[in-house]
Structure 1
């Protein structure tokens, strides 16, 4: 945008009528960064409560800066954490590891019953995805959602962290039980991709609840009642899981732009 922002567009921007994913938002903000005149015009259009909030924010930032910068190592650690995860994921990681450990102990105690580790593996990452990609689980979601790289880049980073956290206890439990790693790995990847694909349309949290609930009702509950290992977690199902994981991952990447919308954070 080389010309000045029009009065109508600037008024809509000041009133908050332009959404984060609106095509007009980025050119306006890029122009405002370099044009003092348009910033002055925006200041005259901004409501008084907003200006007061900005003044308070500026005063708080200056007060923090007056205490001196953080040590280099702490700054690097914070930057790394914010780029890849959120501290709210820590409680989920502990809960997930505990659940997998409990499932492992149950499998050891009752080897004749269907493996709870295999039944739990497909839905193990879903709660982590909900927390990592939720306005309720991330106190900085408003700031993140307003950045140009809030979509696929952040989505992939946090998904990698969630999968890495889940894979460690699953690998340990599966190895000790002597199960084929593909029996828990492929369903886990397929459900993760399906959650992200559907989450771009209805929100990641809702998507995780729908898919996780369906798996529990259709597969887990009948397996526990009939005391039979479902066909979906037996060796014969691996070709289907491979196809599902590949197709769903491809579709999730193709539709990654859906996560630019704020509804994806629901």
Structure 2
């Protein structure tokens, strides 16, 4: 494909049923056709000239459907979601994002009712305990097979790669981070104490998701967090060292490593296994 449009050879091969085209080139052509009316017109002309049987079949089907479409009553007007919102989130994410915000509010209330421990205290802060896993759970829900009715369709489109993964992750963070910011401000917890673990866990989920699938990676990391950090913290009655200021350099390192792995393995997210 050229910089602006698909080549004539590619368009003609795609019109014949993608004969001889590699899979990645087919996906690139389909992604380009979504946004390029010029190449769609060229594809229509190529089908009519190179594959007349297909053109005849389309014309025959349309000739039978056109009277029915013309006679059908107009559908009731519906309020459509903005196009940009559809590119960043799916309706299946809405209840899970609302749940993440509600859990953050509950953690804030528990923190305030129990007495805010402050940034250097040994008390337990529910905001700190939940901050790393809240976005991870939202990302897992946005990719869960059983929660998204359009899962198979989404996982098979040409744009179902790292770009779509990052968009849904940003949509989750856009809801969770402001809620955590308010919670941290109200309880006196330093921003870095919850922000670095939150981002580090999210990038670690995406990095591991390129190997075992985003949902499986999220569930595994949440289980590890509950066993290694949450359970000992609740048992001892003291905030774990990983959540105090001493552990911030480690979280920064995990964040940098996670970003490096995601960038290095960005092609892995185009494989259907990444959507498990």
Q: Is TM more than 0.5 here? A: yes
Gaps of 5+ in 2: 1-7, 34-38, 118-122
Quote the residue 1:260 is aligned against: 270
Inter-CA distance 188–62: structure 2 relative to 1 (3 Å threshold): farther
- What is the SS of the residue equivalent to 1:125? helix
Q: Give the root-mean-square deviation of aligned CA atoms.
A: 3.6
Distance 1:253 1:137, change over 3 A: farther
Larger radius of gyration: 2
Distance 2:149 2:50 in 1: 31
Q: Secondary structure at the match of 2:233?
A: helix
Structure 2 vs 1, CA of residues 66 and 135 (structure 1 numbering), >3 Å: closer, same or farther?
A: farther
Cα deviation 1:62-103 (Å, max 9, x = unaligned): 58x9627968xx45x331221110111111122112211222
Confirm or deny: 8 A CA contact 2:101 2:179 kept in the other structure: yes
User: CA, structure 1 residues 81+27, in 2 after alignment: closer, same or farther (shift >3 Å)?
Assistant: closer
In structure 2, the partner of 1:22 is 23
Task: Sort the Cα spacing of 1:83 and 1:213 in 2 relative to 1 into closer, same or farther, 3 A.
Answer: same
TM-score (norm. length: structure 1): 0.77
CA distance in 2, matches of 1:239, 1:69: 56
**Cα 1:161–1:102 shift into 2, 3 Å:** same
- Say which of 91, 96, 99 aligns to 1:87: 91
Q: Could you state the TM-score of these two structures normalised by the residue count of structure 2?
A: 0.74
CA distance in 2, matches of 1:97, 1:239: 27
Return 5+ residue gaps in structure 1 as ranges: 45-50
Q: Quote the residue 1:110 is aligned against.
A: 114
Are residues 165 and 27 of structure 1, via their aligned partners in 2, closer, same or farther at CA, if it must alter by over 3 Å? closer
Equivalences for residues 175-214 of structure 1 within 5 A: 175-214=185-224
Contact 2:156 2:272 in 1 (8 A): no
Structure 2 distance, partners of 1:240, 1:27, is 39
On the 8 A contact 2:212/2:273 being kept in 1, the answer is yes
User: Could you give the per-residue CA deviations for residues 175-221 of structure 1, whole angstroms, max 9, x where no partner exists?
Assistant: 01001010000000000001011111111110000001000011101
